[in-house]
Structure 1
Amino acid sequence: MGESAGLVLAATVGLGATVVMDLWCWWLRSMGVATLDYAMLGRWCGHWLHGRWFHVPIQKSHAIGAEKPLGWVLHYLTGMVFAVAWLEWFGPWPGVWTALLFGVLTLVLPWLVMQPALGAGLAASKTPRPWLSRGMSLTTHAIFGLAMWACWRLLMLFQS
C-alpha cells in the first residue's frame, strides 16, 4: 500500500472511531451524563488567535464565531490524527491491545492540556465530581481505541 493510501486508510479509521466515540457520548447524554460540548473546544481554539490559552471556566469566556462547527471539525481531525499516529507507531498489523492502550494514552491531551486550559483543572480536579469525569473520560477514550481497531479490521476486510 502506498504512503498516501495508507494515510487515507488511517484517517478513515480515525473518522470511524470518532463516530463510534460520539455514539457512545450521545448514549451517555441520553442517560443524563454530561459530556464535552465541542463548541467549547472551538471557543478554546478560537481564543488562541488572540493569545488566550487559559479560561476559568471556558463557559464564561466570550463566544467565538462558528465555535460549534469549529469544535466538531477539530474533534474529528484529532481523531484522525490519533489514528494516523497509532497506525504509524504500531505498523501494518496493529493489535486490539495496542489500540486499547493507545486510546487510553490519548487521555494525556484532555487531562494534562485541555481540561486545565478550560478551567476544569488537571484531570478534571476542579469539577463537581472529578472521579466520575475521569472514569467517563477513561471509558470514552478506551472505546475510541477499541473502535480504531474495529474500524481498521473492517477496512482490512474490504481491502482483501
Structure 2
Amino acid sequence: MIDLVWRGIVIGLGATILMDVWAVILSCFPGQNRPNWAPVGRWVWHLRHGQVFHHNIGQAAPYAHEQALGWVFHYLVGILYGVILAFLVGAAWFAHPSFWPAWIWGIVTIAAGWFLLLPGLGLGWMASKTPAPTVTRFLGLVAHTVFGFGLYATALML
C-alpha cells in the first residue's frame, strides 16, 4: 500500500509539472495568459468559512498569500489525483503502464474544475460565465489530456 501511495505522489507531481509546462508554453501565444492561481488561493481561503460558491471571487476579501496558497492547492490536488489513480489501477499497472487508464483519469478529473472550482469562482458550470466558454472547455480538456499523459509518462519513468 505504501508503494502505491509514493508512486501515486510521484506520478501526480510529474503530471502537474507537465501540465504547468504546457500552460507556460500556451501563454506564449496571443490571447493566452500565464497561470494565475491567486483566485484559487482566495477561494481556498474562503472555504474555511464554509463558503464554496462566490458570485465573483474577485469581489471576495483578498488574502495576502493567495497566490502561494493557490499553487500549493493546485499541486496537492494533482498529487491526490495521482494517488487515486495508483489505487484504481493497482501495482500491476506500474509494472507495465498503459496510456488509456491515465488519459481517461486525466479527462475525468476535469469534472472537479467544471462542477466545483469554476462555479466556486463565480465562472459558472463548465465555464458558462466566461467570455468564451467553448474555448475555455476545449483548453481545459487539452490541459487535462496533458495531465493524463504526464501521469503515464511519469509512471513509465518509474
Task: With the length of structure 1 as denominator, give the TM-score of the two structures.
Answer: 0.90
Q: CA deviation at 1:19?
A: 0.3
Match among 117, 121, 139 for residue 120 of structure 2? 117
Match among 135, 138, 143 for residue 146 of structure 2? 143
Aligned twin of 1:24: 22
Aligned twin of 2:62: 63
1:5 and 2:3 matched: yes
Looking at structure 2, the residues matched to 34 and 121 of structure 1 have their Cα atoms a distance apart, in angstroms, of: 20
Q: Segments of 4+ in structure 1 off by > 6 A?
A: none
Q: CA deviation at 1:25?
A: 0.6
Aligned twin of 2:79: 80
Deviation larger for 59-68 or 110-119: 59-68
Looking at structure 2, the residues matched to 72 and 138 of structure 1 have their Cα atoms a distance apart, in angstroms, of: 20
Q: Given residue 129 of structure 2, which amino acid in structure 1 is its aligned partner?
A: K
Deviation larger for 32-41 or 60-69: 32-41
Two-structure CA RMSD over aligned residues (Å): 1.3
Looking at structure 1, the residues matched to 137 and 116 of structure 2 have their Cα atoms a distance apart, in angstroms, of: 14
CA contact (8 A) 2:127 2:136 kept: yes
Looking at structure 1, the residues matched to 43 and 57 of structure 2 have their Cα atoms a distance apart, in angstroms, of: 7
Looking at structure 2, the residues matched to 79 and 144 of structure 1 have their Cα atoms a distance apart, in angstroms, of: 9
Q: How many pairs were matched up?
A: 153
Q: CA deviation at 1:35?
A: 6.0
Looking at structure 1, the residues matched to 61 and 18 of structure 2 have their Cα atoms a distance apart, in angstroms, of: 31
Give 1:92-107 correspondences, 5 Å limit: 92=91, 93=93, 94-107=97-110
Structure 1: gaps (5+ residues): 156-160
Aligned twin of 2:32: 33
Q: CA deviation at 1:42?
A: 0.8
Task: With the length of structure 2 as denominator, give the TM-score of the two structures.
Answer: 0.91
Looking at structure 2, the residues matched to 5 and 87 of structure 1 have their Cα atoms a distance apart, in angstroms, of: 9
- Cα distance 1:141–1:81, how it changes in 2: closer, same or farther (>3 A)? same
